[in-house]
Amino acid sequence: MRILLVHTGGTIGMCDTPNGFAPMAGVVEDAVQSLIASGECAADVMIHTLEPLIDSAQATPADWIRVAQCIHDASDASNGVVVTHGTDTLAYTAGALCLLLAGLDKPVIVTGAMLPLTVAGSDGLGNLRAALDAAGASKPGVWVQFAGRLLHGARVRKSHSSAFDAFAAETSEVAPLFAADHAGLNALSPQKVGVFSVTPGPCTDVLAFAVDHCDGLVLRCYGSGTAPDTLEMRAALGRARQRKIPVIAVSQCPEGGMKLGTYAAGQVMRDNNVVDGRDMTPEMAYVKMQVALSLHSTYQARCDFLVQNQVGEFGL
């Protein structure tokens, strides 16, 4: 069993510094060696460290591409993959890998930790061991291993900022992978994607600005799909439609998802061709918009891509 481990940074491989925890080379590598030496990992592990190691707060879509490229380049040389990553943007990277790694035929297990391996009581070694096990035994697809649970890579979100069991995900009938005849990489060229959250009395000037300056928008609306139906909201969403800027709406509720059309107060979105993001996470909506804009050049094709269930991001 050959496993590729792509180390990107994150708390798992950090050390304490005068400025707080920061990534340090060698921490994850030493932990893998200790698991091999103790017989807890029997696999042949190739470690690829991305430089510079980052706190995942610094990650950009360019980093998703680097990780995907690295996995793709080693596709013939590995039976499974582990990605060690910071937890803050782990859900975005997992979702991006689902969409970028076309024709994935092996498990890709994304993991991290809430306490560094270098700190007593860390959850890092347990997560690393479980991720290496999962990379040898799971079904093909992008999964997140955290606190003993294996979660769907396109449905996961960080739900706790300090507990070890920090991730939650709904399930899906559809595997977290982009089906294709041949292994390949889907194109991603970073785009300007804005995210606007509606509030009582929202500052729609911000939305209007985003419509004029972004290539795509994620609208975080209320409950099952409502938003304030004001003249300003209508003007901004109308202009997005006129400019052919795709807009996808997702719910601010972490569970249950949207059902655009339930309430008349969602009419402003339906009138302006806003895509119903159903029960997709906001993280996945952002990633999917990036990929929709990169893969397709027309407004209609982009909206069609957003509507379709690509990698099990919709459970409903």
Question: Which spans of this chain sit near ligand ASN (rule: CB under 6 A)?
Answer: 10-11, 55-57, 86-88, 112, 114
CB of 206 within 8 A of CB of 217? no
SS3 breakdown of the chain: % helix, strand, coil, rounded to 5? 35, 25, 40
> In sequence order, which residues have a C-beta less than 8 Å from that of residue 210 and are 6 or more positions away?
194, 196, 217
Smaller CB separation from ligand ASN, 126 or 184: 126
Helix 299-307 to helix 282-295 angle (10° resolution) is 140
Neighbours of 37 (CB within 10 A): 9
DSSP 129: H
CA atoms within 13 A on the CB side of 134: 27
Number of residues in the chain: 316
CB of 175 to ligand ASN, least distance (A): 26
Please name which of 72, 80, 305 lies closest in space to residue 185, comparing C-alpha atoms. 72
Smaller CB separation from ligand ASN, 113 or 177: 113
CB of 8 to ligand ASN, least distance (A): 9
CB of 216 to ligand ASN, least distance (A): 25
Smaller CB separation from ligand ASN, 87 or 281: 87
Smaller CB separation from ligand ASN, 59 or 211: 59
Smaller CB separation from ligand ASN, 14 or 269: 14
Smaller CB separation from ligand ASN, 10 or 61: 10
CB of 256 to ligand ASN, least distance (A): 27
Q: State the Cα–Cα distance between residues 242 and 155, nearest whole angstrom.
A: 31
CB of 237 to ligand ASN, least distance (A): 33
DSSP 139: P
Can 11 be counted among the known catalytic residues? yes
Instruction: List the catalytic residue out of 8, 11, 93, 281.
Output: 11
Instruction: Kindly state the greatest CA–CA separation across the chain.
Output: 66
Q: What tokens were used for 313?
A: 């991001």
Pairing of strands 2-9, 80-84: parallel
CB of 249 to ligand ASN, least distance (A): 27
Q: State the Cα–Cα distance between residues 293 and 313, nearest whole angstrom.
A: 17
CB of 55 to ligand ASN, least distance (A): 4
Smaller CB separation from ligand ASN, 87 or 251: 87
Q: What residue is closest to ligand ASN based on CB?
A: 86
Q: What tokens were used for 66?
A: 């680097």
List C-alpha distances in Å: 35 to 40, 138, 170.
5, 19, 31
Q: State the Cα–Cα distance between residues 187 and 172, nearest whole angstrom.
A: 25
> Could you list the active site residues?
11
